[in-house]
C-alpha cells in the first residue's frame, strides 16, 4: 500500500483517495516572469514522478498544476521591458513548456492560469467577508484577518506569537494586524491597465495566495487528495491557502500535503532572490539564458542527466548542486544505458513477480522513494551485463520508463557529446570527430588488428580516447563506441 509523508501531520500516512480509484492532485506551479532554474526543475520532475507512479498503480489521476500570470514581479518585468503583461507571460510560459519537454515532464491534465479565475477568487473573498474573515482596509485593499482563523500556523508549525511584526510579513498601514495578508489589491494609478479588473471593491487585482484557493476548488473540488509544491511555499503561501479555503468553505483543503526538498548551492537554497541560480537551459547547454530560440533537441543526453540527477535523490531530501554532482549523475546514467547497449531489451513490459521489480514497487510505495527504485535499476543492469538476458534488460528499461528514464536508443544516447566531466567546470562538448570519422578510425583499427599490427591498433584507440571516445570490443569482432 502506498504511504506518503504528510507535511501537516508530520507522519507517513496510508494513501486513501476520497473517491476510490481517483486522485485529485493540485501542485503550485510557476510564476512566469523569468526562465525556470534547477530548483524549479526539481519540483517539476518530482511531481511528474509522483503522478506517473499513481497512474502506474492503476489510479485515475486529475493532475492540476497552475500558472501564476499576474503578480508584482510580472508587472515589474512588463514595465521594465515595455511589453504587455500577456506578452511577458506568454513568452515565459512557452519557455517553461520547452524546459518541461526537454526534461521529460508530462503535461498536467489541467494547467489553469490565474487570470482565468478572477471571478472564482472574488466569490471566495465575498464568502470570507460575510464570515468576518476579510475586511476592507483604508488603502482600498481587502485583507484576511489572520487572528480570526483559529488553525492558522498548523501546516508550518508557527504560532501567532512566533510571527512577530516585521520579521516575516511587511507591515502595511491599512492592516489591522501586521500578520494579515492581502486578498485583493486596490489598483494604483501608475500600474498598467491590463493589471486591473473590476470588482465590488473597486478596480484591482488578486493577491497571490487567493489564486490557488480559487483554481484548486474550481477544478478539483474539496478536499484535495494531494496538494504539493516547493519547499518555500509551506509558509506563507500554503498556510494562507488553508486559512482562505477552510475559512470560506469549512472542512479540509487537502488530505495530504507534499513538499519537495530544496536544491542547495553550498549552504543556501537555489533561488533568484539570492542570484545563485542556474537555469535549466543553461545546464542542458541548449542556448544562452536569454535565448528563446534555444535548441531543445540538441542534447537529450544532458537533459536526461538533469532528470536522473533529480530522480535518484528522494524528493523530500535536500539536494546539493555542483557541476561535479551533475557529472557523477551523467556517469551513473551512462552505466545504465551501457547495459542496454550491451543487451537488447525484449520489450515485454514489467514482470512484477521478479525480485527487483518487487523492490522497485516497495520503494515507490514508501513515499515515492526513487533512490531505492534507482538502486533496483542498477541491480538489473548488473544482472543484464552478467547474464546477457534480454528479459532482464527489458525489465530494466520498462521499470526505468516509470520514472521517465532510459527510453532513448542506447547507442544514440552514448554517442551524444556531453559537457559534464568530473573535476571540471562544464565546457563546450567535444566535437572534433563526427560519427563518420569515428567509424573510419574504428574500421582502420580493425584492419590493423587483422594484420596483427597491434601497435597501430593501440595508437588508434589512444587517438579516439584523446577525443573523448571510448571503445568496447564485443565477441565476434564488433566494436561499440561511446563519448565520455
Buried-state track 403-415, b at ≥16 Cβ within 10 A, e below 16: bbbbebebeebbb
How many whole angstroms separate alpha carbon 455 and alpha carbon 358? Answer: 49
Query: What whole-number distance in Å separates Cα of residue 166 and Cα of residue 266?
Result: 28
Three-state SS at 431:
coil
Q: At residue 349, what are phi and psi to the nearest 5 degrees?
A: 85, -175
Average pLDDT, the chain: 90
Q: How confident is the model at residue 169 (pLDDT cuts 50, 70, 90)?
A: very low
CA-based end-to-end distance of the chain: 41
Q: Establish whether 302 is an annotated binding residue.
A: no
- How far is residue 442's CA from residue 422's CA, in Å, rounded to a whole number? 27
- Residues 354, 347: Cα–Cα separation, whole Å: 15
Model confidence over 197-233: pLDDT tens digits? 999 999 999 999 999 999 999 999 999 999 999 999 9
241 is in an annotated binding site: yes
Cα separation values, 165 from 19, 144, 411, Å:
42, 16, 60
pLDDT tens figures, 350-377: 999 999 999 999 999 999 999 999 999 9
237 is in an annotated binding site: yes
Percentage of residues in the chain having pLDDT higher than 70 = 92
pLDDT score of 9? 97
For 269-323, write each residue's pLDDT tens digit.
777 677 777 889 888 865 554 455 555 556 789 999 999 999 999 999 999 988 8
| 272 annotated ligand-binding residue | yes
Mean pLDDT along residues 139-159:
94
Distance CA 169, CA 198 (A): 27
CA distance 340 to 410: 6
For the question of whether the overall pTM of this predicted structure is more than 0.85, the answer is yes
- Tell me: is residue 260 an annotated ligand-binding position: no
CB proximity list for 231: less than 8 A, separation 6 or greater: 259, 260, 261, 262, 269
Amino acid at each position: 500500500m502506498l504511504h506518503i509523508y504528510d507535511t501537516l501531520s508530520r507522519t507517513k500516512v496510508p494513501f486513501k483517495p476520497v473517491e476510490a480509484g481517483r486522485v485529485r492532485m493540485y501542485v503550485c506551479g510557476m510564476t512566469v516572469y523569468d526562465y525556470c532554474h534547477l530548483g524549479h526543475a526539481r519540483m517539476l520532475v518530482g511531481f511528474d514522478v509522483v503522478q506517473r507512479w499513481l497512474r502506474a498503480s492503476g489510479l485515475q489521476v486529475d493532475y492540476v498544476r497552475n500558472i501564476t500570470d499576474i503578480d508584482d514581479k510580472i508587472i515589474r518585468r512588463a514595465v521594465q521591458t515595455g511589453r504587455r503583461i500577456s506578452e511577458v507571460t506568454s513568452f515565459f510560459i512557452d519557455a517553461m513548456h520547452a524546459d518541461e519537454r526537454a526534461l521529460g515532464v508530462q503535461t498536467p491534465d489541467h494547467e489553469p492560469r490565474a487570470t482565468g479565475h478572477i471571478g472564482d477568487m472574488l466569490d471566495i473573498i465575498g464568502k470570507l467577508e460575510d464570515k468576518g474573515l476579510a475586511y476592507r482596509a483604508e488603502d482600498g485593499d481587502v485583507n484576511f484577518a489572520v487572528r480570526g482563523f483559529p488553525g492558522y500556523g498548523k501546516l508550518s508549525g508557527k504560532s501567532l506569537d512566533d510571527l512577530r511584526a516585521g520579521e516575516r510579513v511587511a507591515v502595511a498601514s491599512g492592516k489591522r494586524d501586521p500578520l494579515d495578508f492581502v486578498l485583493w489589491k486596490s489598483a494604483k494609478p501608475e500600474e498598467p491597465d491590463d493589471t486591473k479588473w473590476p470588482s465590488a471593491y473597486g478596480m484591482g487585482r488578486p493577491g497571490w495566495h487567493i489564486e490557488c484557493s480559487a483554481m484548486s476548488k474550481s477544478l478539483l473540488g474539496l478536499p484535495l487528495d494531494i496538494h504539493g509544491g516547493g519547499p518555500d511555499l509551506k509558509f506563507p503561501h500554503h498556510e494562507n491557502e488553508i486559512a482562505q479555503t477552510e475559512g470560506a468553505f469549512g472542512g479540509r483543503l487537502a488530505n495530504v500535503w507534499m513538499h519537495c526538498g530544496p536544491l542547495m548551492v553550498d549552504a543556501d537554497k537555489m533561488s533568484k532572490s539570492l542570484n545563485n541560480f542556474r537555469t535549466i537551459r543553461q545546464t542542458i547547454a541548449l542556448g544562452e539564458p536569454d535565448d528563446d530560440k534555444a535548441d531543445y533537441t540538441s542534447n537529450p543526453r544532458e537533459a536526461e542527466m538533469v532528470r536522473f540527477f533529480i530522480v535518484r535523490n528522494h524528493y523530500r531530501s535536500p539536494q546539493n548542486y555542483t557541476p561535479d554532482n551533475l557529472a557523477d549523475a551523467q556517469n551513473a546514467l551512462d552505466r545504465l544505458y551501457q547495459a542496454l547497449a550491451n543487451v537488447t531489451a525484449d520489450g515485454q513490459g514489467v514482470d512484477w513477480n521478479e525480485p527487483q521489480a518487487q523492490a522497485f514497487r516497495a520503494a515507490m510505495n514508501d513515499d515515492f522513494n526513487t533512490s531505492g527504485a534507482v538502486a533496483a535499476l542498477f541491480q538489473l543492469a548488473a544482472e543484464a551485463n552478467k547474464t546477457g538476458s534480454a528479459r532482464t534488460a527489458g525489465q530494466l528499461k520498462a521499470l526505468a520508463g516509470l520514472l521517465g528514464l532510459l527510453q532513448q536508443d542506447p547507442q544514440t544516447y552514448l554517442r551524444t557529446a556531453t559537457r559534464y566531466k568530473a573535476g571540471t567546470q562544464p565546457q563546450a562538448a567535444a566535437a572534433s570527430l563526427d560519427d563518420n570519422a569515428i567509424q573510419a578510425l574504428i574500421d582502420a583499427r580493425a584492419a590493423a588488428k587483422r594484420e596483427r599490427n597491434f601497435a597501430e591498433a593501440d595508437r588508434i584507440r589512444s587517438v579516439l580516447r584523446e577525443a573523448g571516445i571510448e571503445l568496447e570490443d564485443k565477441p565476434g569482432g564488433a566494436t561499440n563506441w561511446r563519448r565520455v
